[in-house]
Amino acid sequence: MAVDQSPVPRLSANNIQKSFGNLHVLKGITLDALEGDVVSILGASGSGKSTFLRCLNFLERADAGQITINTQTIDLDAKPTKAMDAEIRSLRAHTGFVFQSFNLWTHLTVLENVMQGPLHVLGKSKAEAREEAEAVLQRVGMFERKDYYPAQISGGQQQRVAIARALAMDPDVLLFDEPTSALDPELVGEVLKVMRSLAEEGRTMLVVTHEMSFAQDVSSKVVFLHQGEVDVIGSPGIVFKEGASEHFDKFLVNTRH
Ligand code: ADP
Ligand code: MG
């Protein structure tokens, strides 16, 4: 019998719906990220990109659909229960989230920022948390700044620390919400470089971005959202081909100006 060698789905979203009051923001989004996939999520402002990403990390509770990470599924169509809350907490620990605005603790040093999750969420010892934090800070090129406070380093450096903080939790999936949008143009490159290296290392990543070269060159899959729906999805070669989607062609023209 042939052995199934197909890659493992790390994260699957099925028919995710979300409304805020009367505003129907996500109208049934379905997508898979296989192990090692880098999925770029593109779309105009207000198309639901952040809401979708936040639903995947349960920062926002979707109204309907299913979210599977590894083999664990949360069925959002089912009535919420205490058991579901516990499952959600355990699933959240498998995803790392990187925000546009870094969200570092300003009163803690770089090293302390990275140690918090392992110490307080994973229950590691101080020595272990420190050792691992130092290793991930090396990974993003921020070890030399470990005793600085966030206000003493640049935005690009802060974002690299935020990436280290996410990595310290040893997540199965990394979620990035416009990680370079708050940066001065000259600082974008250092963050993209770290993200490229994580992609090359085979990390599973979903990245909301306006960096078209990242989407085109680094991702294995591109999703374009239009008004809360998947308008077009596929490899960069397919999605970026002129004529794949009228809405996407228009979006590209607008982002170039
Ligand atoms: P994007 O990230 O693609 O710019 P968002 O997901 O942030 O889009 O927002 C999609 C829509 O949902 C927008 O119209 C936004 O105003 C609305 N929205 C997002 N979060 C909330 C919220 N917490 N309460 C009410 N409306 C929201
Ligand atoms: Mg957004």
Measured between alpha carbons, how far is residue 82 from residues 57, 70, 74 in Å?
A: 18, 21, 13
**DSSP of 26-46:** EEEEEEEEETT-EEEEEE-TT
Kindly state if the Cβ of 25 falls inside 6 Å of ligand 1.
yes
Given the CA of residue 225, which atom of ligand 1 is nearest to it?
Answer: 3
Q: Percent of the chain at pLDDT above 90? A: 90
Closest CA to 195 of 212, 216, 210, 180: 180
- Pairing mode of beta strands 64-69, 229-234: unpaired
Ligand 1 centre from 26 Cα, in Å?
A: 10
- Of all ligands present, the nearest one to the C-alpha of 46 is 1
Given the CA of residue 177, which atom of ligand 1 is nearest to it?
Answer: 2
- Model confidence at 2, pLDDT cuts 50, 70, 90, reads low
Partner residues linked to 25 by β-bridges: none
Hey, whose CA ends up nearest to atom 13 of ligand 1? 46
pLDDT, tens only, 24-50: 999 999 999 999 999 999 999 999 999
- Of all ligands present, the nearest one to the C-alpha of 225 is 1
Residues 6+ apart with CB under 8 A from 230: 29, 30, 31, 223, 224
Measured between alpha carbons, how far is residue 116 from residues 137, 157, 167 in Å?
A: 14, 18, 12
pLDDT at position 51 over 90: yes
Question: Do 136 and 130 contact (CB within 8 A), yes or no?
Answer: no
pLDDT the model gives residue 8: 76
pLDDT the model gives residue 10: 93
Kindly state if the Cβ of 45 falls inside 6 Å of ligand 1.
yes
- Among left, alpha and beta (phi > 0; psi -120 to 50; other), residue 70 is left
Q: What is the pTM assigned to this prediction?
A: 0.95
pLDDT, tens only, 138-191: 999 999 999 999 999 999 999 999 999 999 999 999 999 999 999 999 999 999
Ligand 2 centre from 130 Cα, in Å?
A: 33
Hey, whose CA ends up nearest to atom 16 of ligand 1? 46
Residues 6+ apart with CB under 8 A from 117: 165, 168, 169
Ligand 2 centre from 70 Cα, in Å?
A: 26
In the three-class reduction of DSSP (H, G, I as helix; E, B as strand; rest coil), residue 200 is classed as helix
61, containing H or E segment: none
Kindly state if the Cβ of 202 falls inside 6 Å of ligand 1.
no
- Model confidence at 256, pLDDT cuts 50, 70, 90, reads confident
pLDDT, tens only, 52-82: 999 999 999 999 999 999 989 999 999 989 9
Ligand 1 centre from 48 Cα, in Å?
A: 6
pLDDT the model gives residue 255: 84
Alpha-carbon distance of 57 to 87, in angstroms, equals 12
pLDDT the model gives residue 257: 60
Kindly state if the Cβ of 209 falls inside 6 Å of ligand 1.
no
pLDDT the model gives residue 7: 73
Ligand 2 centre from 134 Cα, in Å?
A: 31
- Model confidence at 4, pLDDT cuts 50, 70, 90, reads low
Q: Percent of the chain at pLDDT above 70? A: 97
pLDDT at position 5 over 70: no
Mean pLDDT of the chain: 95
Closest CA to 40 of 257, 250, 238: 238
Ligand 2 centre from 132 Cα, in Å?
A: 31
Hey, whose CA ends up nearest to atom 11 of ligand 1? 46
- Model confidence at 254, pLDDT cuts 50, 70, 90, reads confident
pLDDT the model gives residue 80: 87
